[in-house]
């Protein structure tokens, strides 16, 4: 694996830390970001000036991009390139099933293997190298890339052989996460209205059947402290739960709860633009934890 050359496009809140862990693991890494590469390039990586240069210097290219339209544009650009060495694209973005399948078709026609590999764990997990990756693509390709993948993730799951299956796992996970945040906000508000102490009620729930990631992490570490700094934007969580709803409708599976959850997050995002998603508690209750 150390003989392979890697590229990374998209050095934002998630991409930057993931790229830094790859470079820190001793892998050959070139990086590019349309928002400015030089100032975002992690130590140990090589900054290049364009996607063309990245694809000309990387056997495998990682993507960490904001949405499906951007991933599809990059896929089309890669497919049209004449001078490239990239033969595998590992897309770490959350873009929805349709976009992942379309990106896979575009790149397959160009002779490039596309891997649908969204991640979970937030910015803190990306920095610590503890995120989860949900790999939708051939298992033999995963095995060839296992070393580099484990340089930036702790939990690596092969969820299926096809593009879109990684997205399915990611979207249902984020739907559950978003539901837990919204529901926990209402539950905590009720507890406080009855004179309960937030820390004590969280302690009870976290050794009981209502425990979830909101009660075990977000509330004690981000909301009770008043920091609201989970490092994941409300807008991104809103996008993800909307994608879950859209894809669940397309699949013909139940959406009654999802419709309610999406409505809550949509209104929260409108009320608190550019906020950390833990501020759903403020939106639901109209107050801080303290």
pTM for this one?
A: 0.92
Q: HSE (CB half, 13 Å, CA atoms) of 259?
A: 5
Catalytically active residues are 170
Q: Residue ranges of the domains in the chain?
A: 5-162, 168-285
- In this structure, which CATH number among 3.40.50.2000, 3.30.465.10, 3.40.1170.60, 3.40.50.720 belongs to the domain 5-162? 3.40.50.720
- Give the per-residue pLDDT at 248: 97
pLDDT band at 97 (very low <50, low <70, confident <90, very high): very high
Interatomic CA distance for residues 166 and 176, integer angstroms: 16
Interatomic CA distance for residues 115 and 267, integer angstroms: 33
- Give the per-residue pLDDT at 146: 97
pLDDT digits (tens, 9 = 90+) for 113-165: 999 999 999 888 999 999 999 999 999 999 999 999 999 999 999 999 999 99
Q: Is 5-162's fold the same as 168-285's?
A: no
| 196-217: average pLDDT | 97
Interatomic CA distance for residues 30 and 6, integer angstroms: 6
As its CATH architecture, domain 168-285 has Orthogonal Bundle (1.10)
Question: Can you tell me which residue has the tokens 């739907």?
Answer: 175
pLDDT digits (tens, 9 = 90+) for 48-77: 999 999 999 999 999 999 999 999 999 999
pLDDT digits (tens, 9 = 90+) for 69-91: 999 999 999 999 988 999 999 99
- Give the per-residue pLDDT at 122: 87
CB contact at 8 A, 47 and 54? no
Question: Nearest Cα to 129, choosing from 6, 236, 19?
Answer: 19
pLDDT digits (tens, 9 = 90+) for 268-281: 999 999 999 999 99
């Amino acid at each position: 694996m150390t003989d392979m050359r890697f590229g990374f496009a998209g050095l934002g809140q998630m991409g930057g830390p993931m790229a830094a862990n790859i470079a820190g693991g001793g892998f050959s890494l070139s990086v590019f970001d349309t928002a400015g590469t030089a100032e975002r390039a992690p130590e140990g990586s090589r900054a290049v000036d364009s996607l063309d240069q990245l694809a000309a210097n990387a056997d495998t290219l990682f993507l960490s991009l904001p949405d499906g339209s951007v991933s599809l544009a990059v896929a089309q650009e890669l497919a049209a390139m004449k001078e490239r060495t990239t033969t595998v694209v590992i897309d770490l973005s959350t873009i929805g099933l349709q976009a992942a399948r379309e990106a896979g078709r575009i790149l397959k026609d160009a002779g490039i293997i596309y891997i649908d590999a969204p991640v979970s764990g937030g910015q803190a997990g990306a920095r610590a190298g503890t995120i989860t990756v949900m790999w939708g693509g051939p298992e033999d390709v995963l095995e060839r890339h296992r070393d580099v993948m484990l340089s930036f993730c702790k939990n690596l799951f092969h969820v299926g052989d096809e593009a879109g299956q990684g997205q399915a796992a990611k979207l249902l996970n984020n739907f559950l996460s978003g539901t837990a945040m919204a529901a926990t906000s209402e539950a905590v508000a009720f507890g406080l209205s009855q004179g309960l102490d937030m820390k004590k009620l969280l302690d009870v729930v976290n050794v009981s059947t209502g425990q979830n990631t909101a009660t075990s992490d977000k509330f004690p570490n981000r909301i009770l402290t008043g920091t609201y700094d989970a490092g994941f934007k409300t807008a991104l969580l809103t996008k993800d739960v909307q994608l879950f709803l859209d894809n669940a409708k397309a699949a013909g599976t139940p959406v009654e709860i999802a419709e309610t959850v999406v409505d809550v997050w949509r209104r929260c995002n409108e009320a608190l633009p550019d906020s950390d998603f833990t501020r759903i508690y403020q939106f639901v209750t109209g107050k801080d934890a303290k």
